[in-house]
Structure 1
C-alpha cells in the first residue's frame, strides 16, 4: 500500500504515472478498469484511462455522451466524499438506458464505483472503477480499500488539475504553472524554491532560521512544523487551515510528499507546500470540499457543515441519526484536523472555505 501511495504523489507531477496508479488500484479493488476525470464549467472534460477502455473513454469525453449520462450527471451533482457504488443511486430504467452504460455493457463492463473531489479552484475530479459483468458487484472490503487511497488521490488530483496534467520539467516553471502559492522543502524543512505567488504572502508565510518556512499563526505553525517533521519518516500528507493574517485572507496549506520522479523534477526536494486561498462568505461549504481540504471523513464533514449552517451539536446528531456522545467524538476529531479548539472558532473558519472560480484564460 505504501508503494502505491508514493506512486499517487508521483503521478501528481508525472501524468504518465496515473496509468500505473489506476492499474494498481484496480488490482487492489478487483476492478476491470479505471479512469480519472476532470470536469470544469469552462472546458470539456479531460482525464486518463486504462488502455482496455481507451476507445470508449475517447468517445465519452470528446462527444456529448457525458452530458446525457445519468450516472455521470448524478455523481457530479452528489460529489460523493467517499467511494460509492454508482448502481445504488440509479433506477433500473436509468441503468438500462444510460448511453455510457449501454456502451460499456457491450464490452462486458458492469458495476461501477466512484468518488468525487471538489477542488478549491472550482473543478471536479472523479475517480471511477468498473467491474466485469461476470464478476458482479463491488464488495464492501473492495470499496474500503479504495477509500484508504482517497485522501491521497484527492491531493494528487489537486496538483494535476492545476498543472492541467502537463509535465513540468523545471522547479521554477512547475511551481509557477500551478498558479497558487507554492514552495518545495528539503527533508530538513529548508526551503529550496518558491514561486512568486508565495513570495507575495510574506506577512503570512515567513522565512526562518536555517532556511526554513513558518506560518505567522501560532496554532497553524505548530501543526505545520509537526507535519514537516512527520514527513521525514513516512509517506504522509496533510492540510492545515490558516486564519487571515495581515492583508492575506484565510487559506489552507497542503503538504505533499515528493517521491520518485517527482523528487527529481523538483531538484531533489522532499515536500511540496501548496497554499489554496479561500474567500470569506456567508455561505456554507460543501461536505465534499471539507473532505478534500482537511481529510474529514464523510460523517465528520457533514457534522462540520451542519455546525457552519447554524445547527447545534444536538440538532446535528439528531439529523444524522447518531448519539450526542458520538457527535462530540466526531467534533474532537474535527478540531484536531482543522487546528481549531472550540466550536465558535471552527464555525468562523468554515465560513471562509468556499470554492474559487477558475481564472478566465487570457
Structure 2
C-alpha cells in the first residue's frame, strides 16, 4: 500500500465523521487495507451497542446482534478484563485469548464465527470523550488465520485518525442535542437530554425553575418525584426507538394536582449515525387547558383526534354511554378509546382520569 492509499483512507475517515452514511464504504476500504473480509464499528454506551458495517460482513453482524451474541462477546469481555481497552493499538485473537486452544474452545468462535467462515480479527477499543466505548474490528476469513505484524502495524498507523474521526462524530452529535436544548431554553421551556439509562447528559437553565419536579440520584440518574410518572418515563426509555409507549407524562404534585406535563422526545439518528449517546430530550410544559380544549389535550398527551374529543367530553361530565350516543360510536369503541387515554395519561381508573382532566381545565398559573 502506498502513501497515497494511506492519505485517501485518512481523508475518508474524517469525511465519515461528518457524513455518517459514508461509514460502510470507509469500513470496506479500511478492511482491504487491513487484508480482511470486512469491517465493523460498534459504539457502546450505558444501555446498548449501536453499530454499522461494510456490506461484506453486514449480514453476519446482523445475525450476531439479533442472535444475542453481543452479550457473549468474549473478545470484548476478555479485552476489558485484561485492560486492553486502555492500550492504544490494534489487537488480534492472540491478545484476547491465552492460546489457540482457548480460541478453538471459545463458544463464540466455535458456534458463531467459524461456521460463517470468519473468526480471526484485527480490532481496537477506545473510550470516547462523550462516554461511549468504541470498538472497531476488521473481520478476517478463518482460512487467513491471525493478522501478521505488518498488517497490525499498518492499522496502528491509521488508528489515531480513526479514533479522532469517531470523537468528532460523537461531539457533533452531542452538540446537535445541546443546540436543541438551548433553543428550548430561549423559548422558555425547561429541558434536559438523557441517555437510555436515564443519565442526565445536559440541561438548560430553565430546568431550575421546575426543580420541585425532579432531582438526580447516583450516577446523575434523572429522577422524577412523582413515582408514577417516574415509572412511566423509564418504561418509555426502555423502548424509545419504537413507536409505542407513553410520550407525554402528567406530573402530579403532593396534592395530586397536575401542573406540568413531561414530553419525551426521542433523539433520532440516521441509520449510520452511531455516536450520539443521547436517547431522548425531556421537555417540561405547563399543563393548562382552557375550557377543556381538546386540541391542547391532544398535544399534551399524544392523543389521537378521536381520543382528544372523548377526553374533552369526559372532562365536561359526560359518561361513556352519552359520549357513544353523541359521537355515533359503539359503547365498546368509546370504552377502548377511554382505555387508551388512561394508558397515555398514566391513570389507573376512569375516576382518576376524569379528575385529572378537571384539574387540567381549572389549572391557574
Shorter-chain TM-score: which interval?
Answer: 0.3 to 0.5
Higher helix share goes to which structure? 2
Which structure has more relative contact order (CA 8 Å, sep 6+)? It is 1
Over alpha carbons, which structure has the higher Rg?
Answer: 2
Using the size of structure 2 for normalisation, the TM-score is 0.45
